[in-house]
Structure 1
Amino acid sequence: MIIAEEVQNESQKKEFLEFPARLYQHDKNYIRPRNIDIEDVFNPEKNKFFKNGECVQFLFKNKQNETVGKVAVFVNETYEQKQPTGGFGFFDCINDQETANFIFDHCKNWLQQRGMEAMDGPINFGERDKFWGLVIEGFVEPLYGMNYNFPYYKDLFENYGFKIYFEQLCFSRSIFAEVSRVFTVMHTKHSKNPEISARPMTKDKLGKFAKDFTEIYNRAWAAHGEGKCMEESKVLKMFKTMKPIINEHISWFVYENEKPIAMWMNLPDTNQWFKYLNGKFGLWEKIKFLWIKKFKKNEKMVGLVFGVVPEWQRKGLEGYMIWEGTQHLRKHTDFKVTEMQWIGDFNPKMIKIAENLDTTVTRKLATYRYLFDQNKEFERHPML
């Protein structure tokens, strides 16, 4: 017999955080997320999605009162789909189909009571940049903010009847891998143009780079796929938040007579430091983090955004920028691998860009969907 408990008191909130740590304690690839990053998702004062949605956390106990699973289930009015669709995330479960089915049924019933006709998971009660998707290939250390799970989770989902709504592809390449000849040829070509220059992003000029980032991003991506315009003030706020972890050798901007025309934004993978903190980030952990950051080599960086303004696309400018930046960071950093955040399989243009950067797919996640009316035709995410 399994009992569902709604998470309400401090003891239950703690157990929601501690259960995965026990479940994955022998998995060498598991990196415990920071408690604060998970707690903020469920804090109405920190998560804007509570303004247009509802989210509840649950623990699942066996007859010995042992935790055997957990989940968060939610509805979000801004999550517009073909049919009313709810979501669930932060799913963890022992390797038992009956237990998983009980959790999935519980989510289904909760969502049906709120008028939903389908459920997606595991997803976040928030943006897609964190805690989104189930790992189905490439069970290696997760990047910061990325989900991680046992391989058996895929069977738990699919045996219940979930189908893949879309796959999330993660691309990676070695910093010291051979660079495409096309890149080096384009680098030689554009290097001869005195109007073209490349420079790394520095902490002392965050205002300038925020302005340049906003201009490039909005021109390159605003009308591309699901791109949204960004405001300079919000970009600057984001840059200031990232300032403690910005590496001044790995984010690059290209200019034509001082006019920003391209960017390649990267950050160190902070999970390579956070994995030593066991999910905590109090005063002592912050001191420890600074010590680790100073003395522990971080060999993995994460590609955040890559963009070229329309009039410079398909002219090899990305080759110039990538090779200019790569030569520099090989000399001045310890990074050995760069990995891009996931790209949906419904976005062939972005996938083509990733492939053109000499990357390979190193892991896949999946966003699953379950239609409550199983007689209804299942449709995958529409192509962009």
Structure 2
Amino acid sequence: MANAPLAIRPVVSRTEKRDFIELAYRLNRGDPHWVPPLRSEVAGALDPRKNGWFSHADAQLFLAERGGRPVGRIAAHIDRLALEMPAEQGFGPGTGFFGLFEAEDETVARALINTAEGWLRKQGMTRVVGPISLSIWEEPGLLIEGYDHAPMVMMGHHKRLYRDYIEQAGFAPVKQLKTYELDITREFPPLVQRIIAMGEKSDRIRIRTVDKSRFEDEAAIILGILNDAWSDNWGFVPLTQPEIDDVGKKLKPIVFEQLIRIAELDGEPVAFMITLPDLNEAIAPLQGNLLPFGWARLLWWLRRGKARGMRVPLMGVVKRLQGSRMASQLAFMMIEYIRRAAVQDFGAVRGEIGWVLDDNQGMIAIADTIESRVNRIYQIYAKELG
């Protein structure tokens, strides 16, 4: 089989898409820290009818086969909103992407990467960035540190060899994304407690929970803050309403009001923090399947409302306040209020913040002040297309 010719073909049929999805389960089966995602969720992410990202993006999936057996996969994609962003922010005109990368060996990896580059070149792209699977808001980057433990919800886990495969294909690192973990059963240092206490005395500040009965209205507030707060960040692509709608449907079962906070200053929403229970705790034993009994276990977990781990995937402060003492104060207050709720209401013991860009000094300073530590690093690469 190893000497059989390698063939790479675009994914067109339902059978090919099923093979594309299934390959990841086979190649990662021996890794105790890889969490098998629900197959239905993976299929939904690849379906333009269920993933709002496709409203401004196009993707082509490729499957590698050797002797008729799937041995690798890759996605090549173009985000039309990313093309409109300033080049100095990481993307911009001529930038295409690759992602959803899996390969049995280096020969397969090189052939897949060459194929993705060729497809992007034919679409007029002059540069490729990745891995990004599929949106910058989904699973960006390749894991390069933190292989010894499982990722939390909505974070990736990859084989060590993939770093060599990508770098040997001529890709150079352009950005690192870091996650920070901390023991949330411990109170924060006295300095942080004083900052929080001062904020609690201010008539200008209100930290409130979201109202799940007004889900769409609250999501619109958060989206407005997010797109303003992140607009100058490396890799920023505006999050659109179709994406928010689809993500909302997917995450609504694990959205708990006390774990999502909006900060108001003089009555105006200016900051937010979203925290999610680590759904990976529930889905890891399911091996990607809701049937025959996985759905019952997952439903029990959701209704039980208990999780040892909590992840902060998104937080933001409006641009006009960034770098100010007020921004830090609001961040510390939201973190503390959510920490208390996570421990008291859910029995959580561990928190994770991220991902955080390696040049986001404000967020890094906050992470350091609450005595968290880097536990995983993801690398994003780029390559000019000749």
TM-score normalised by length of structure 2: 0.81
| Preserved contact between residue 249 and residue 333 of structure 1 (Cα < 8 Å) | no
For 1:308 and 1:119, the matched residues in 2 are separated by 31
Give a deviation string over 1:124-152, Cα, whole Å, max 9, x none.
34x31213211011123123332221111
Structure 2 residue ranges without an equivalent (≥5): 84-90
Query: 1:364: how far off?
Result: 0.8
Identity, in percent, stands at 24
1:314 maps onto 2:325 in alignment: yes
**How much has 1:350 moved relative to structure 2?**
3.9
1:263-302 alignment, distance < 5 Å: 263-281=272-290, 285-295=294-304, 297-302=306-311
Change (3 A) 1:232 1:317: same
3-state SS of 2:311 partner? strand
After superposition, the Cα gap between the structure-2 partners of 1:163 and 1:234, relative to the gap in structure 1 and judged at 3 Å, is: closer
Per-residue Cα deviation, 1:102-145 (whole angstroms, up to 9, x for no partner) = 222222222222322222221134x3121321101112312333
Amino acid at match of 1:288: R
- Measured against aligned partners, the alpha-carbon deviations of 1:341-378 in whole angstroms (never above 9, x if no partner) come to 312234444434444444322111111112233xxxxx
CA shift in 2, pair 1:370/1:247, >3 Å: same
Work out the CA distance in 1 between the residues paired with 2:92 and 2:237. Answer: 21
Larger mean CA deviation between 22-31 and 108-117 belongs to 108-117
Say what the alpha-carbon RMSD is for the aligned residues: 3.4
Higher Rg of the two aligned structures? 1
What are the within-5 Å matches in structure 2 for residues 107-256 of structure 1?
A: 107-125=116-134, 127-139=135-147, 140-193=149-202, 196-204=205-213, 206=215, 209-210=218-219, 213=222, 221=229, 225=233, 242-255=251-264
Equivalent residue number for residue 65 of structure 2? 61
Q: Distance in 1 between matches of 2:59 and 2:139?
A: 15
Alignment CA distance shift 1:303-1:106 (3 Å): same
Q: Contact between 2:51 and 2:243, CA under 8 Å: does it hold in 1?
A: no
Tell me: CA distance 1:283–1:249, structure 2 relative to 1, closer, same or farther (3 Å).
farther
Q: Which moved more, 1:306-315 or 1:116-125?
A: 306-315
The residue type paired with residue 326 of structure 1 is: R
Q: Which amino acid aligns with 1:77?
A: R
Shift of 1:69: 0.9
**Take 2:278 and 2:99, find their aligned partners in 1: how far apart are those partners?**
23
Give the letter aligned to residue 318 of structure 1.
A
Using the alignment, how far apart are the partners of 2:213 and 2:92 within structure 1?
Answer: 46
Residue 198 of structure 1 deviates from its aligned partner by 4.1
SS of corresponding position for 1:306: strand
Amino acid at match of 2:287: N
In the alignment, structure 1 residue 99 sits paired with structure 2 residue 108? yes
Matched letter for residue 110 of structure 2: N
Question: Any idea what the Cα deviations from partners look like across 1:179-218, whole Å, max 9, x if unmatched?
Answer: 1221111233333446655444453564775576467657
How far is 1:29 from its partner? 0.5
Structure 1: stretches of 5+ with no match in the other structure = 374-384
Q: Structure 1 residue 85 and structure 2 residue 89: aligned?
A: no
Residue of structure 1 equivalent to 2:339: 326
Distance in 1, matches of 2:244 and 2:19, equals 36
* Residue 299 of structure 1: how far off its partner (Å): 1.0
Classify 1:240/1:38 alpha carbon distance in 2 versus 1 (closer, same or farther; 3 Å): closer
The C-alpha deviation readout for 1:236-278, integer Å capped at 9, x for no partner, is 9966764421234323344567655544321212222222332
User: Aligned residue for 1:36?
Assistant: 40
Aligned residues: 369
**Structure 1 position 297, deviation (Å):** 4.1
Map of 2:351 onto structure 1: 338
Q: Which residue of 1 aligns with 2:7?
A: 3
The separation in 2 between residues aligned to 1:225 and 1:307, in whole angstroms, is: 11
